[in-house]
Structure 1
Amino acid sequence: MQHTAIEVSAAPVFNIARGTLAGASASLVGIGLARFAYTPLLPAIIDAHWFAASTAAYLGAANLGGYLAGALLGGYLAKRANAATVLRAMMLLATIAFIACAFPLSFVWFFVWRFASGLSGGTLMVLAAPTVLAHVPPSRRGLVSGAIFAGIGLGIAASGTIVPLLLREGVAQAWFGLGTIALLLTLAAWNGWPKHDAPAPSAHKHHSQHAKPGGFTLRALYAEYALNAVGLVPHMLFLVDFVSRGLGKGLNTGAQYWVLFGLAAIAGPLLSGHLADRAGFASALRAAFVIQIVAVALPLIDTSPVPLIASSVLMGAAVPGIVPLALGRVNELLAHHPAAQKGAWSTATTTFAVLQAVAAYGMSFLFTQNGGNYAMLFVIGAAALALALAVDLFAALRAHPQKV
């Protein structure tokens, strides 16, 4: 008995704070900077004659394509490799991609490295949070996942603050600056990951209701999360343009609303994670759908400053805030099948990315075809979120008729 006690005390203890910092650093590098920092860099790249406007748009799509590939690759790697090794490699890949983009050698060169940055982001999205959360007590997973995904919000905020400052030194210097930041974050995260993946549960028989992982409720969650991606597009792509041109308030005013959007994005995951710890992920996700419906519908009802501020803040919080809620719900539904959780999260991330890309291109096409009808965009977004809520309620009613 004494020998056993010594063995147990010698077992490595995971540091939750360091793991949370590592996860937040990964989401900041892979999503926050690799995706959102490109938005303010795009006009500077065009002005510097690195690439033509039409070509630069394809480079933006390269990151999205890489993200989809990374989401799929993450699910594959989760089953075949040590998570910490993969996470370190992907953060290094994102860092190298930033540095490589400081040299516009050719379109193919730039395309490959933008694709690589997306690949790292997709893989980090799939693996980082689940790897950390597997070692966190269930009662703290909401707040920890919220802190991890706050890195996305920090990236959105940085897109309107740090990047413009870096661009004062030049486009190449801005890429070097982002690479330096990514390297520092990679080093900060290096020893924060769990030394070993969470042990697989011992083989034993579960109750019959747990025999099939996921089922209808999990498939419904995939649909809800994908529909939520559609609902985010009007604000993510058109908010500044809507305020500055649609309402005639000018670019400076539009940028102010984007700053509010970015600041809310930092707090959003922390607030949603805290709510999930108190109310449960299912209830928190349902509340998030309702809040988003109101936020997207507000510009249709009133375009005075107060409703627009509320709309910008709520949707800014929702962009990264919905992620820990969806991840937590996946883990809840697969609580008796931990080995299936990372694969399911990979599927959810992929469906989200696909629908968001389709919605972005589709809404842009409709917008140009309908003479710049902003109201139509918000109607589509609100309808998608309402449908997500309806799917969630139907799935809950089907699973537990007496509770809904």
Structure 2
Amino acid sequence: MQRAVVNGPIPPAFNVWRGALAGASASLVGIGLARFAYTPLLPAIVSAHWFPASTAAYLGAANLGGYLAGALAGGWLARRFDATSVLRAMMLLATVAFVACAFPVSFLWFFVWRFASGLAGGALMVLAAPTVLAHVSPSRRGFASGAIFSGIGLGIVASGTIVPILLRQGLMETWLGLAAISLALTAVAWNGWPGRGESAAQHTTHHTRHGQTYPAASLRALYTEYALNAVGLVPHMIFLVDFVARGLGKGLDAGAQYWVLFGLGAIVGPLLTGHLADRAGFGPALRAAFVLQIAAVALLAVVRGPAALIVSSVVVGAFVPGIVALVLGRINELLAHHPAAQKGAWSAATTSFAVLQAVAAYGLSFLFAHDGGNYTALFVIGAASLALALAVDLFAALRLGPKQA
């Protein structure tokens, strides 16, 4: 006997646009600023003799470690407290971390607060979008998730534009300026999250059909694809500016310009991928994303002209947050009849992404240092990883059939 599936209305008390704005603010603070603003700050930290170059690099890694911890802890926190309280607390934690980093008390002090900022970012990534999207109709989830993750791109652009302006006032003032921006965004998001009653009302509208199978194999394939995609993004995320500035001999100013293009792509990318997913479905949109990324990453392995740099920077930048929106939407598709499992699956996907991203960052940096600065090898490895992700997706589609893959 089957239980009826009732599709009730979205709770009227929840404003979808305010929710999307809250989600975008969270991704801007937790990922866009807490992670990417450190890239242009690193030379200034070394020049100001806060920390030597080798030590400062470990402080960058502290954020990645914190991000992994936050991805693992986000679901645990949400089960013990309501998600809205956790989201507010994590945005405040990121703000406090910016303030603390304005005072280089010691290496341990700075490491702890960079780790804390990463933890906040990981928890926000795990919780923000699912919390909002639970109140958005399926036909609009692609666009809504795109709007939420566009905050990452805004943060990348800010890291290439606002941070250099703030640095003219001083390094301490820059950290405090970032804290002020983070606090303002926390205030914007504060009342945009759904309340407890709204969340419970949304969840009661879903019931599992008798005999509906749990798509475990499809989810495992998706986790693998998402992790491999993380590897494919690392060459651009870490080496793009250095490749332009030193590898091509164009200087730091040119490198910064391509980084801004990368960020502009990251702003519009999730909106475009979300629109495509709303029209074609998240599965086909995800496969199209793999193909475009393979071409864009491989392009810099064979072509070094300005046009190739522009296209590659914008396209790969678009998929830094764009792939996040697509994978989250794909999880919601696969678990449409298992809504209670969606947050756990998204946490697992985020964790797999974070682990391989960190491994790839250290691994490719090691390879680069011991391979005479071979940029071509980095882009070839990135493209190969993306091609493997596409192969896994296609194999899953053939083996499991269209309903699950």
Q: Shorter chain as normaliser: what TM range?
A: over 0.9
Matched with 1:22 is 22
Name the counterpart of 2:55. 55
Distance in 2 of aligned mates of 1:164 and 1:383: 35
Shift of 1:202: 7.2
> CA–CA distance in 1 between the matches of 2:369 and 2:56?
19
Letter in 1 for 2:178: L
- Whole-Å separation in 1 of the counterparts to 2:178 and 2:43: 17
Distance 1:57 1:403, change over 3 A: closer
What residue number does 1:141 align with? 141
CA distance in 2: counterparts of 1:251 and 1:204, whole angstroms: 55
In structure 2, the gaps of 5 or more residues are 1-7
Contact residue 285 and residue 322 of structure 1 kept, 8 A: yes
| Post-superposition offset of 1:206 | 2.2
Q: Distance in 2 between matches of 1:367 and 1:315?
A: 20
**Residue 389 (structure 2) pairs with residue 388 (structure 1):** yes
Contact 1:22–1:192 (Cα < 8 Å) also in 2: yes
Answer whether contact 1:70 1:120 (CA < 8 A) is retained. yes
Say which SS state the counterpart of residue 54 (structure 1) adopts: helix
Match of 1:164 in 2: 164
Q: Residues 350 and 402 (structure 1 numbering): CA distance in 2 closer, same or farther, change over 3 Å? A: closer
User: Over residues 288-319 of structure 1, what are the superposed CA-to-partner deviations in whole Å (9 max), with x where a residue is unaligned?
Assistant: 00000000111123212212211111111111
Instruction: Indicate the SS of the match to 1:193.
Output: coil
> Any idea what the Cα deviations from partners look like across 1:158-199, whole Å, max 9, x if unmatched?
110001111111111001000000000001110000012622
The structural deviation recorded for 1:382 is 0.5
1:99–1:294 Cα change, 3 Å: same
- Find the aligned partners of 2:42 and 2:315 in 1 and give their Cα distance: 26
2:228: which partner in 1? 227
Query: Which range is displaced more, 343-352 or 79-88?
Result: 79-88
Q: What does residue 121 of structure 1 align with?
A: 121
- The alignment-based identity, stated in percent, is 74
C-alpha deviations, 1:121-148, integer Å up to 9, x for none? 0000000000000000110000010000
Instruction: Work out whether residues 334 and 404 of structure 2, in 8 Å CA contact, stay in contact via their aligned partners in 1.
Output: no
Contact 1:78-1:343 at 8 Å conserved across structures: no
Q: Which amino acid aligns with 1:19?
A: G
Q: Distance in 2 between matches of 1:31 and 1:47?
A: 25
- Secondary structure of 1:236's counterpart equals helix
- 2:73 aligns with 73
**TM-superposed deviation, 1:254:** 2.1
C-alpha separation in 2, matches of 1:385 and 1:101: 36
**1:82 positional shift:** 0.7
- Seen in structure 2, the aligned counterparts of structure 1 residues 86 and 304 have a Cα distance that, compared at 3 Å, is same
Deviation at 1:247, TM superposition (A): 1.9
User: Which amino acid in the other structure matches residue 301 of structure 1?
Assistant: V
CA RMSD of aligned residues (A): 1.8
Q: Which residue is equivalent to 1:4? A: none
Q: Go from structure 1 to structure 2 and tell me whether the alpha carbon gap of 1:248 and 1:79 turns closer, same or farther (over 3 Å shift).
A: same
- Distance in structure 1 (CA, Å) of the matches to 2:259 and 2:209: 49
Other-structure match for 1:5: none
Contact 1:78 1:342 (8 Å CA) reproduced: no
Measure the CA separation in 2 of the matches of 1:266 and 1:63. Answer: 22
2:206–2:339: 8 Å Cα contact kept in structure 1? no
Q: 1:201 deviation in Å? A: 3.8
Say whether the 8 Å CA contact 1:296–1:381 is kept in structure 2.
Answer: yes
Match of 2:271 in 1: 270
Give the counterpart letter for 2:101 in structure 1: C
- Within a 5 Å distance, the mapping from 1:183-198 to structure 2 comes to 183-196=183-196, 198=199
Distance in 2 between residues matched to 1:403 and 1:319, nearest whole Å: 25
Counterpart-to-counterpart distance in 1, 2:402 and 2:93: 48
SS of equivalent residue, structure 1 residue 160: helix
What is the match of residue 209 of structure 2? 206
**What does the per-residue CA deviation read over 1:344-380, in whole Å, with 9 as the maximum and x for residues that have no partner?**
1011001101101111111111111111111111110
What's the counterpart of residue 41 of structure 2? Answer: 41
Q: State yes or no: 1:130 paired with 2:130.
A: yes
Amino acid of the residue matched to residue 28 of structure 2? L
The 1:113–1:211 alpha-carbon spacing in structure 2 relative to 1, beyond 3 Å, is: same
Report how far residue 84 of structure 1 moved.
0.6
Given that residues 206 and 337 in structure 2 are in contact (C-alpha distance below 8 angstroms), is that contact kept between their aligned partners in structure 1?
Answer: no
Q: Give the distance between the partners of 1:127 and 1:185, measured in 2 at CA.
A: 17
Q: Aligned equivalents of 2:229 and 2:404: distance in 1?
A: 24
Contact 2:208 2:337 in 1 (8 A): no
What amino acid maps onto 2:261 in structure 1?
L
Distance 2:268 2:108 in 1: 38
TM-score (norm 2): 0.94
Letter in 2 for 1:32: G
Q: For 1:44 and 1:205, how far apart are their aligned partners in 2?
A: 55
Rounded Cα–Cα distance in structure 1 between residues aligned with 2:141 and 2:345: 18
1:261 match: 262
Aligned position for 2:364:
363
Letter in 2 for 1:88: R
Identify unmatched segments of 5+ residues in structure 1: 1-7
Contact 1:44 1:171 in 2 (8 A): yes
TM-score, scaled relative to structure 1 = 0.94
Q: How far, CA to CA, are the matches of 2:313 and 2:179 in structure 1? A: 30
Structure 1 residues 255 and 198: alpha-carbon distance in aligned structure 2, compared to 1, 3 A threshold: same
- Asked whether the 8 Å contact 1:234–1:378 carries over to 2, the reply is yes
